[in-house]
Amino acid sequence: MKTIVTENLPIKTWAATIDENTLNQAKNLANLPFAYKHIAIMPDAHVGYGMPIGGVAAMKGIVIPNAVGVDIGCGVAAVQTSLSGLDTAQLKKMINEVRKSIPLGFKHHKRPQSDKLMPDGGMVVSEKKFPVMSREYQKGRMQLGTLGGGNHFIEIQKGDDGYIWIMIHSGSRNVGYQVAGHYNQLAKEYNSRHGQKVPSQWQLDYLPVSTKNGTNYLREMEYCVHFAEANRREMMRVACAITTDFNPGVTFSEPLDIAHNYAAREHHFGEDVIVHRKGATRATEGAIGIIPGSQGSSSFIVNGRGNLESFSSCSHGAGRKLGRKQAQKKLDLQLEIEKLESQGILHSIRHKKNLDEAAGAYKNIEEVMANQQDLVEIITRLQPLAVVKG
């Protein structure tokens, strides 16, 4: 950990290097009048909207929609199977079936999913308490159990524990996007009406949690966190059913499920605060976490160390080193394909447009893990065998 002391609050960073844009966003956070104690920057950090992805910030009395992001509740689910191996032919058949059975990219289900699969079994979502979700609820039923695009994935992996694992990375789909956009606009309006305490160019507009809109945001954000978990759970159910079809008698562990985009009421350094984790994983002492790599590198099941200086947090993955357009321009398609195929990975790099999710677009996960040994302990290393992307 390094500490930067040039701003109103210290910035504590676990990143080996940090680019100027990401650092400037961290400095903006450190100069917010509501920020508490210090800002924590994880080793996978890179620039985001308003707040760096891989950032952790505690706030007193306010919530910042852009410090959670548009994919509220995005996270990772993982299941250990009883299988010790799968041959390439099996993997190909399973992956093909996954592609047929789970809508990918912008695709949704053609029919609404059961209310029972929605958070709390289809809890009542009133217009008064859930102004956005009451509008989006039926659309959400079409989105539940769908992967999305970008860095979301379904992977079949081999663990150094000797078992095959299934891992899914996805979030709250368009439901979370709608909630984020709605409350960020309200936050802009509030900031404007109350003396522009935060410069608009920082993209860190806020809502006091004591206001109706602040309360509603926290409520709807939490709903989206549960929706994202339900989304991953349904996809995992389908993936496990496909695995069983090809491997009768296989058994599965209880799924692990870890979100990495949310705000939560927590107690740190003697104060009750709202901790914003944007692309960061909670790593309280003894808590199990999941840190995925790129489709060409290891992922990890970890044990939190409860490091107070990071607000008990760790990285959420490897983190980008190239923007999406940068990656498409700079990376060599054939070279990226050869890297994956030399490891025997069934991958999702087919065209130049796919290079935004090539392994070369991401930081070295081994370096990221080495830089957070004081945040987490590795339990299991998982190597990708087959990858589905949106």
CATH of the domain at 132: 3.90.1860.10
**278 and 333 share a domain?**
no
59 phi and psi, to 5 degrees?
-125, 145
Among residues 334, 337, 386, which one has the least CA distance to residue 359? 337
Burial degree of 335 (CB within 10 A; 0-12, 13-18, 19+): exposed
Q: Could you give the CA distance from residue 299 to residue 376 in angstroms, rounded to a whole number?
A: 13
pLDDT at 123: 78
**68 and 137 share a domain?**
yes
Q: What's the DSSP call for residue 318?
A: S
Q: Which residue has the tokens 């321009």?
A: 329
pTM of the full structure: 0.96
**126 and 248 share a domain?**
yes
Q: Could you give the CA distance from residue 181 to residue 187 in angstroms, rounded to a whole number?
A: 10
DSSP E strands in the chain: the ranges are 2-4, 11-13, 35-46, 53-59, 62-63, 75-80, 153-159, 164-170, 207-208, 256-259, 261-268, 271-278, 280-282, 288-291, 299-304, 313-315, 376-389
259 phi and psi, to 5 degrees?
-85, 155
Q: Tell me the three state secondary structure of residue 161.
A: coil
What are the residue numbers of the active site?
316
pLDDT at 76: 98
**299 and 338 share a domain?**
no
pLDDT at 213: 98
DSSP string covering 67-85, please? GT-SSTT-EEEEEEBS-S-
**230 and 342 share a domain?**
no
84 phi and psi, to 5 degrees?
-100, -10
Q: Could you give the CA distance from residue 48 to residue 277 in angstroms, rounded to a whole number?
A: 12
Q: Could you give the CA distance from residue 45 to residue 54 in angstroms, rounded to a whole number?
A: 4
The encoded tokens of residue 372 equal: 């957070």
Among residues 152, 42, 39, which one has the least CA distance to residue 103? 152
Task: Find the domain containing 124 and state its range.
Answer: 2-321+362-389
Q: Which residue has the tokens 């935060």?
A: 198
**385 and 282 share a domain?**
yes
Q: Could you give the CA distance from residue 390 to residue 380 in angstroms, rounded to a whole number?
A: 26
Q: Is 274 in contact with 34 (CB distance < 8 Å)? A: no
Among residues 276, 246, 274, 283, which one has the least CA distance to residue 261? 276
**285 and 329 share a domain?**
no
Q: Is 230 in contact with 118 (CB distance < 8 Å)? A: yes
**368 and 355 share a domain?**
no
**196 and 329 share a domain?**
no
CA 36 from chain center: how many Å? 24
Distances 233 to 78, 256, 294, 345 between C-alpha atoms, Å: 10, 10, 22, 25
Q: Tell me the three state secondary structure of residue 42.
A: strand
**174 and 102 share a domain?**
yes
The encoded tokens of residue 356 equal: 């935004």
Q: Is 46 in contact with 319 (CB distance < 8 Å)? A: yes
Q: Could you give the CA distance from residue 374 to residue 372 in angstroms, rounded to a whole number?
A: 5
Q: Is 59 in contact with 387 (CB distance < 8 Å)? A: no
The encoded tokens of residue 309 equal: 């200086």
**83 and 126 share a domain?**
yes
15 phi and psi, to 5 degrees?
-80, 135
**304 and 341 share a domain?**
no
* Dihedral sign, Cα of residue 155, residue 158, residue 160, residue 162: positive
Number of domains in the chain: 2
Q: Which residue has the tokens 């935004």?
A: 356
Q: What is the pLDDT along the chain (390 residues), one digit of tens a residue?
A: 999 999 999 999 999 999 999 999 999 999 999 999 999 999 999 999 999 999 999 999 999 999 999 999 999 999 999 999 999 999 999 999 999 999 999 999 999 999 999 998 877 789 999 999 999 999 999 999 999 999 999 999 999 999 999 999 999 999 999 999 999 999 999 999 998 889 999 999 999 999 999 999 999 999 999 999 999 999 999 999 999 999 999 999 999 999 999 999 999 999 999 999 999 999 999 999 999 999 899 999 999 999 999 999 999 999 999 999 999 999 999 999 999 999 999 998 999 999 999 999 999 999 999 999 999 999 999 999 999 998
Q: Could you give the CA distance from residue 18 to residue 4 in angstroms, rounded to a whole number?
A: 12
CB 177: neighbour CB atoms within 10 A? Answer: 17
